[in-house]
Amino acid sequence: MHWLYLAVAILSEVVATSALKAAEGFSRGIPSLLVLVGYGLSFHFLSLTLRSVPLGIAYAIWSGVGVALVSLAGWVIYHQSLDRAALAGIALVVAGVVVPACSRKQCHIERALTLAS
């Protein structure tokens, strides 16, 4: 269940961060509400995740996947370009999530994929 909580935390953070641009300094109502609710949900579900997933692992996955998805949202929603350097940076962030999440004792990503299927 903790991996589901983490997924909800990530998606909520992506919605909130993506809406932040549309909120225009909190001057627009609906996007501003999305930002506040999204971040609130994100931190709530991240805290539930931390009951069973180590802090460093949960935060690495939450922030790394969030960066990649927000970049994708910026490209799709706001038509922001992603050049080769940006794509390489995103790939490095994803690699930075995979390395700490996998250790000799237990690969948290592998375990999450097994539990999800």
Give the Å distances, CA to CA, from 24 to 13, 20, 71, 76. 17, 7, 18, 18
Q: 39 is written with which tokens? A: 């971040």
Q: What is the pTM of this model?
A: 0.81
Chain centroid offset of residue 74 CA: 14
Which tens digits make up the pLDDT trace of 4-16? 999 999 999 999 9
For 38-87, the pLDDT digits (tens) are: 999 999 999 999 999 888 888 888 988 899 899 999 999 999 988 999 88
> In a 3-state reduction of DSSP, which class is residue 94?
helix
